Amino acid sequence: MYLKPQPRYSEDIDVVQVISEPIKPIIDRLRDVLSFLGEPIIKQKRNNNTLIFRVNSTILPIIPMRLKIEINCREHFNVLGFETINFSIKNQWFSGECKILTYKLDELIGTKVRALYERRKGRDLYDLYKALQNDGLNTENVIACFKKYMNKEGKSPTRELYLSNMDDKMTNEEFLGDTQQLLDPNEFYNPHIAYEVVKEKLINKI
C-alpha cells in the first residue's frame, strides 16, 4: 500500500487482530468472502491463525499456487496510531474499492527491522532496502518502534548484537539467495549493497 509499484512477489497476506476478541468470527468471515478459492486448510496456534488456499494459476502454463493469510493474534497494541488508506483494484477478475485500517509506515518498517533480526529470510533485507527509498520514512521513528516491539517480547538487542546477527546471515547462501524467485528478473539487486545501506541508515541507530 505504501510502496508502489509492489517491489516483489508475495504469496502471503499478513493481517493483525487489533482488538482482543474471539478469532472464530474473523476466520468464518474470511472463508465466506474467499469461498471462490475453495475450502482452506486452517492452522491454529496460540499467537497466530493461518488460512492456506491452494489454487491453480489462470494463465498458461497452469501451475499450482498457494495463498496464505496469516493473522497475528498476539499484538493488540500500536506505537504510532493507525491510519486508514483508500484501496482500489481493477482487473479482469475483480474490481472494487475499500478502506484499509493499517499501521503508519514507520511502525510497519520497525516491525520489519525486528523480522530481519529474528528470521533468516533475505527478503526482509530487501524490503528494508526498498523502504529506505521512500522519502516519507522517518528512521528515528522506525528504530523507536523496533525497540518498543522488542521490549514487548522481553528482548532488547544492542547494536553490536544485531550486527553480529547480520554478520552471520550475510555469509549464508540461503539467506543471500532468498529473493531470487521473488523479484522482477530485470531488476538488479545486490544484497551486500543493500546491507550497507540498511546498516548505515537503520541498524547503526539502534
Q: Are residues 112 and 43 in the same domain?
A: no
Q: Are residues 34 and 115 in the same domain?
A: no
Closest to 125 measured CA to CA, from 166, 72, 84 = 166
Q: What is the pLDDT of residue 148?
A: 97
**pLDDT band at 132; cut points 50, 70, 90:** very high
**Structural domain includes residue 94:** no
Cα distances (Å, whole numbers) of residue 165 to 67, 104, 124, 126, 170: 30, 27, 14, 17, 9
**Structural domain includes residue 168:** yes
- Tens of pLDDT, residue by residue over 134-183, are 999 999 999 999 999 999 999 999 999 999 999 999 999 999 999 998 99
Q: Are residues 47 and 110 in the same domain?
A: no
Q: Are residues 43 and 132 in the same domain?
A: no
**pLDDT band at 133; cut points 50, 70, 90:** very high
Query: Three cell numbers at 153?
Result: 517480547
Count other Cβ atoms within 10 Å, centred on residue 2.
Answer: 15
Q: What is the mean pLDDT of the chain?
A: 94
**Domains in the chain: how many in total?**
2
**pLDDT band at 59; cut points 50, 70, 90:** confident
**Structural domain includes residue 13:** no
**Structural domain includes residue 42:** yes
Q: Are residues 111 and 55 in the same domain?
A: no
Its domain, for residue 191, covers: 105-205
Contacts of 172 (CB under 8 A, 6+ apart): 120
The answer, yes or no, to whether residue 2 has pLDDT greater than 90, is no
What is the per-residue DSSP string for 28-56?
HHHHHHTGGG-PPEEEE-SSEEEEEEEEE
Q: Are residues 116 and 191 in the same domain?
A: yes
**Residue 26: enclosing H or E segment and its boundaries?**
helix 24-33
Q: Are residues 122 and 192 in the same domain?
A: yes
Q: Are residues 116 and 193 in the same domain?
A: yes
